[in-house]
A and B are shown apart, each in its own frame.
Chain A
Amino acid sequence: MGDGNIHSGNITSSFNSYFYKAGEDAEVMRWLSPLEPNNRHQGVRADRFDGVGNWILQTKEFREWRSREGGADEAVLFCSGNPGVGKTYLR
């Protein structure tokens, strides 16, 4: 903790935005899937408050998972919890 939310600046990433496409390119994108997760991410991160969950990023498990290059066996990191835990609970 203590570093506050260092990730709240503008970021460009494939999660948040893909390049604008027009014409047939836009059609191809729509054809692939009707789901648009980017807007949802913006909403969730706007509601997030500073500091919460930062401890996850500091855990050995997260750091190892993130940096491990090979190893299909340990490709998955699962954070298990009830939605009522934490923020929602306190409201």
Chain B
Amino acid sequence: MARDISSLVIDSLCDQEGKVDSAVVGLYCDFLIQQEQTVTNIMGTILKQLVGRGDIPKYLREAFQEAKKNFGGRGPRLPELMEMLRKAIASLPQVFICLDALDECLPKHLPDLLGSLRDIVRESPKTRIFLTGRPHVTGDIQRYFAMAIVIPISPNMDDIRSYLEMRLGRDSEPEAMNDDLRADILRVILERTSDM
């Protein structure tokens, strides 16, 4: 559900992207690859998405070439990425950063991740950050963003109705279905769901 919400919000932001020339970037965190989803890699992929829209900026090419000289090439370091991110964001009218399932990051990465996002927002106050996650990360987020707006996602009757209607529409035996039965099914399931 939260993941669906993320993809919906990302698409919705992308729809306006063309109109107001904003950039929408982000990542779906995933506990299956949480070792790889380090703060450095997450900031790296945000920068990658931002600069990937056009020609590679000179400062990035130079940083890459410099890194290649050392020990056959080392990865970018976080402070270096943050500085390049600052430049990339400054060159755009507005940036939306979307991170789904924050709780699926390794807990030890969370403070650095939120701290890095706070640094971005302090440097570029127009940047908007969209996060989803289990309720237990609310406190972590509020430690870094005291004024964060929180929307709880709970079973929403409209969502459940949409889903049921979709499933009923795909019934494999449509001849066994009629309006009364359909209405009964919706009524009973929605009643029971609202009791949960």
Contacts and interface: CB of A to CB of B under 8 A. Distances in A.
Interface of A: 1, 5-8, 11, 13-16, 18-19, 21, 24-25, 27-29, 31-37, 40-41, 44-45, 47-57, 59, 61-62, 64-66, 68-90
Nearest to A83: B2
A40 B30 CA distance: 10
Contact-size category for B? 35 or more
Given A15-B25, A81-B135, A88 B47 contact: no
A35 B47 CA distance: 11
Given A15-B14, A56-B8, A86 B155 contact: yes
A76 B130 CA distance: 6
Contact of B28 (A14, A41, A61, A85): A41
B149 A14 contact: no
B1 A81 contact: yes
Interface stretch (B105-113, B120-128, B178-186): B120-128
Contacts of B163: 49, 51-52, 86-87, 90
A71 B141 CA distance: 17
Interface of B: 1-17, 23-28, 30, 36-37, 40-45, 47-54, 56, 60-61, 64, 67, 73, 75-76, 81, 98, 101, 117, 121-122, 125-135, 137-138, 141, 145-156, 158-160, 162-164, 166
Contacts of B129: 75-77
B162 A76 contact: no
Nearest to B54: A19
A72 B153 contact: no
Nearest to B49: A14
Given A76-B129, A81-B134, A81-B152, A57 B53 contact: no
A50 B130 CA distance: 21
A85 to B, nearest CB: 5
Contacts of A50: 162, 166
Given A14-B49, A85-B1, A85-B154, A34 B36 contact: yes
A70 to B, nearest CB: 6
Contacts of A84: 1
B5 A56 contact: yes
B45 A65 contact: no
